[in-house]
Structure formats: structure tokens, C-alpha cells
Amino acid sequence: MGAVRGTRVDGGMTRARFARRDSEAREFMDFPDCDPDRLERTYQQFRTINRLVSGWRRIYRRWIRPRLDAERPTTLLDVGFGGGDIARSIAGWAARDGLVLRTTAVDPDERALRHVRGLPDCGVRFERASSADLVARGERYDLVVSNHLLHHLDKAELEALLADSTALSRHLVIHNDLSRGRAGYGLYAVATLPFARGSFIHQDGLLSIRRSYRQRELQAVVPPGWRVRPMFPQRLLLTHERAHP
């Protein structure tokens, strides 16, 4: 695997450098021949990182829980589940609230599926598949979500994901991602430095921030009907909601 440029954290990370997305850098874990042990540790650490910064507990309370019912089942799809922690968390919160949620999570990477199959059962149906695979099968879900997926995609892939999301969702889509900024980059660099050698969580997290959008940038490239909202800390929510008949 070739070296990924620009992973150093130093004085070169100027304001001008953050003015534009670094769409060329590629994350280590996206390479099919990356170190499997470091990849597995990265999957394991996603739970801690996401708990600290992704804000899904707030998203669940604000957007998801009000749509759930104690008797009528609601279906939810997590696209690109990675370590599987987001789908597992949402399913667990709903169960503790006494609400009926049937959760499916898909990822095209066999390594991600291998990881979640080694975890205790949580009632989530995990499958190796893409959003396009589900559209081709004619599947529909009440809610569609993703975490840290948008910044991985090029323009054509982003357009395809959003088209798939609206085709798959009956009611609401929530794509939760990072927002590019120097402050968050610096804080993340310091906080995750102890993990730099054991996993990809440090290097890939920094690359993810550099690849991520700012609010106006993302709003400018999504189709009509999609709304970009900022969320603390340094995050963006891209949402699409169908009007009630």
C-alpha cells in the first residue's frame, strides 16, 4: 500500500489549507490490503469515538424516538455500518424505551461483516450489501441513517447514495457526518495520538476531517429537498423528510 499524503499534524495545517476539501486523500482502512489487526482494533474503537463525538443519542431523542411506537413496528436501515456500533446503540435505546424497532444494517465490506459477527447478538440484522443492492431488491424502510459515510464518497457516489436513500426511505433520512475545521482537527489529533500505532483511528480520523464538507459546501451539492444542519461538536446532519400524505 502506498503512503497516504498529508497525515502529519504540524504548522502546515494552515487556515488556507482547510479552505477546501481534500478529496484526494484516501483513508488507510479503505485499502483492501490494510493491516487486518489494526483494522479490527479500529472497528473496536469506533464505539468509543462515536459515543464521544457523533451525537447519535441526541439524534435518537430528537428525530428517531418520536417516530417509534410500543406496539407498531418501525423499520430502520443503517447504511455503511462499519463497526456496527451505531445500529446496535439505536436498537438498544429503543428496546430500553419499550419501543418496537426492527433494525437492518448493511455494508459492502466483508471485513466489517466479519467484525460484527464476532459481537454478541443485539437483534440487529447485519448484511453485506450496498444501498443499491437493496434498491434493486425493492426494499423499503421507515427510517434510513448513516454515520461518517458522506466524506468517503466522490460526487457520483454521493449522488447515487442520496438517490438510493430517498428510494429506500418511507419517511426520514439522516446522514450524520463530520464538518471540516481546524479546531476539531487539532483536538482530535491530540486526543487520539495514543492510538496512532495500534489502529487507524488517529490517522484516518484526521483524513476524514480533511475530506469532510462545510455546511454551505454540502448544501450546494445535494439535490432539492435535502437540508444540511450544523450540530455540535463540528458535525453536519443531512436530512430528507417526506411530507405526510
- For residue 16, the model assigns a pLDDT of 58
Omega prior to 32 cis, within 30 of 0:
no
What does the pLDDT profile of the chain (245 residues) look like in tens digits?
233 333 333 334 556 568 889 998 899 999 999 999 999 999 999 999 999 999 999 999 999 999 999 999 999 999 999 999 999 999 999 999 999 999 999 999 999 999 999 999 999 999 999 999 999 999 999 999 999 999 999 999 999 999 999 999 999 999 999 999 999 999 999 999 998 889 999 999 999 999 999 999 999 999 999 999 999 989 999 999 987 54
Rounded Cα distance, 74 and 151, in Å:
28
Side chain identity at residue 66, one-letter code: P
Helices 182-191, 201-211: crossing angle, 10 deg rounding: 180
Query: For residue 202, with 0-12 CB atoms within 10 Å meaning exposed, 13-18 middle and 19 or more buried, which class applies?
Result: buried
Under a CB-based contact definition with an 8 Å cutoff, are residues 143 and 174 in contact?
A: yes
- For residue 2, the model assigns a pLDDT of 31
What predicted TM-score, i.e. pTM, was given to this entire model?
0.91
Grid coordinates in use for 3? 503512503
- For residue 12, the model assigns a pLDDT of 45
* C-alpha neighbours within 13 Å on the C-beta side of residue 26: 11
* Structural domains in the chain, sorted by start: 36-178+214-241 (3.40.50.150)
Instruction: List C-alpha distances in Å: 109 to 112, 141, 225.
Output: 5, 21, 30
Residue the block writes with cell 476539531: 184
